[in-house]
Structure 1
Amino acid sequence: MNLEQIKRKKAIYETWFIIFIIITALSFILFMTNPLLMIGFIIGGLGASAMTGMLKKLSNHFKNVYVREVLDKLIPGCKYEPERGLESSYVYDSKILKREDRYHSEDYLEGYISGKHFISADVHLRDVRRSGKSTTVVTVFQGRFFEIEFNKKFENDVYIMPNRTLLFGLFEGMKRVELEYIVFNQTFDVFSKDQHSAFYLLKPRFMEKLLEFSNIAKRTMFGFRAKKVMIALDTRVDSFDLKMFKDIDTQFFDEIKKEVKLIEDLIELIS
């Protein structure tokens, strides 16, 4: 099934979804005049649910065939597992993302960028907020998480977070490091036990490259620990899923290309 066939099938599911919703709504409205219309309400609800399930299956096919092919061209030899994600304990251990009430991860990607091994996945964090009888679920982070392995060890841990991030003791025992780059200070807060380690890592060209990530994400978090670099990009986008009534926008592949290019540049500056 090529991309055009996927688009046509998606449009068919969306049309039937609308039809079933209309049947459900009309049956509910007219139920008082004819109780038998409850059958229409049930059929409409089941039909709409079935279309949602069929779209999910189509989305999985889209990922397994089309997305996999594009990713393999972008990152030759990569391993892509759409239904697999990263364990919550693994992501939270990075310290660049705070534990939330609800955690979901999928679209696992693994391979090599500029000779460095990396793993990545979509991560969705949501906070459940209760006030009296009402409950609200708020998205706190939605985007991609990267971990890249290096041959050399960073002298001390360095964490770079967006300004005014609520840390809740994540970096206990560390100091906030003030840098001479004013624009960088206005965008990020830097934490490390030893400010010398932060100064050694954050050269002007390196800071400029970190600032470029702000062009592709609402918020960006970085962690440099041992031999690993962790990056969390809060794009508020579910990278590869098909959504009801949303066009199949292959522009997200361009966004992935930008992410990979920025990571390549970071690797070059660190190595």
Structure 2
Amino acid sequence: MEEKLRELEAQRLVILAEQKKYNKRAIPFFVIGAIGFLLGIAFPDTGALFMVIGFVLIIIGAIVASIGYKHIAQFNQMFKSNLITSLLKANYDNVTYEPKGHIPLDVFLKTGLTRKPDRWRGEDFISGEKNGVKFQVSEFHLEDRHVRRDSKGNTYVTYETFFKGRFFMFEFKRIFKHDLRISEKGLLNISFNNFGLKKIETESIAFNKKFSVLTGDDQHAFYIITPVMLEEIQRIERLFKGTIALLFQGNRLYVAINDNKNTLEPNIKVPLTGQSLDYYLVDILIMQEMIHAFDLDGSKFMEIHEWVISVI
């Protein structure tokens, strides 16, 4: 790990220097191009040529600057394929990491933890196993399409983000007959369909104020959300700046975290040291943290007792 870190740090320094070099080369094109635009505005009768020259120079500047950013994209790819993959394999079994892959969107939508987007993208697919609990994770960026028309009949299309975060799937051995859905109140990204579930309240007033609980069976719900589970859900929620929603269904737990964060992305300006890895470990160890917090590797979820299943 230390050797990989040193190699990546050396590459980071080279690429950062290259980016700065191309940025400096692009600055004169941007400056002269901006002057051309200003001259065109100042002299509207004869400034058309200045406007054209300014536009061309700005385009050239953008092309020059993009060459430097192309090197950054290559560094990001090396960072993920080497360092992130190594960190994942050091903490989980049977790891697969595909930076450009994702969980199928339909899987996410069927949970009702989000609504259907007009435009979307996914990345950073991870699958692995911890203490017998299998999991899959990927990032999603979901957007709504908005169309606006002005008084002159011109049409403007914009896209607004309503979910940007991670979607988790944990698979355990026990299969439960009833669904249990837990979500923070006021979530705008969640589906409005209750899927035939009814609302219940827990014994925690603080939890009831912050979360909404829907279930297909009261006994099943209270079997899962014990006082300890309520505390752990609130603790996990506090780890993120955004909102959280959970669904226990069959032998899976689905978790959606909408925190407007793009995880596992390196910052080319930050030196790669052992201490800087802590920033990435938070997002890598969260799967382990959830498995432990919700006791997914404990007897309640991993041991199959026919009498329990028949009751639940």
Whether TM-score is above 0.5 comes out as: yes
Q: Which amino acid aligns with 1:177?
A: I
Choose from 106, 125, 128 the match for 2:123.
106
CA distance in 2, matches of 1:21, 1:156: 60
Alignment match, 2:91: 74
Choose from 3, 6, 28 the match for 2:8.
3
Q: TM-score with structure 1 length normalisation?
A: 0.88
Alignment match, 1:96: 113
Choose from 292, 305, 310 the match for 1:264.
292
Contact 1:94 1:223 survives alignment (8 Å): yes
The alignment yields a C-alpha RMSD, in angstroms, of 2.6
Contact 1:13 1:55 survives alignment (8 Å): no
Contact 2:113 2:191 survives alignment (8 Å): no
Give, in angstroms, the shift of residue 245 of structure 1.
Answer: 6.0
CA distance in 2, matches of 1:244, 1:256: 19
Change (3 A) 1:189 1:69: same
Alignment match, 2:101: 84
Q: Which runs of 5+ in 2 are unaligned?
A: 40-48, 150-154, 302-312
Greater Rg, structure 1 or structure 2?
Answer: 2
Identity of aligned residues (%): 21
Contact 2:183 2:244 survives alignment (8 Å): yes
CA distance in 1, matches of 2:124, 2:76: 12
Choose from 253, 256, 259 the match for 1:235.
259
Alignment match, 1:181: 204
Contact 2:175 2:250 survives alignment (8 Å): yes
Q: Once the two structures are superposed, what CA deviation does each residue of 1:43-87 show, in whole Å capped at 9, x if it has no partner?
A: 212112222332222111110011111111121431111111122
CA distance in 2, matches of 1:39, 1:131: 31
Deviation larger for 42-51 or 211-220: 42-51
Q: Which amino acid aligns with 2:20?
A: T
Q: How many residues align?
A: 271
Q: Secondary structure at the match of 1:111?
A: strand
The within-5 A match list for 1:1-271 is: 2-16=7-21, 18-31=23-36, 40-132=57-149, 133-166=155-188, 167-217=190-240, 218-242=242-266, 250=277, 251-266=279-294, 267-268=296-297, 270-271=300-301
Q: Which amino acid aligns with 2:129?
A: Y
Q: TM-score with structure 2 length normalisation?
A: 0.77
Q: Which runs of 5+ in 1 are unaligned?
A: none
CA distance in 2, matches of 1:63, 1:239: 11
CA distance in 2, matches of 1:252, 1:185: 33
Deviation larger for 56-65 or 159-168: 159-168
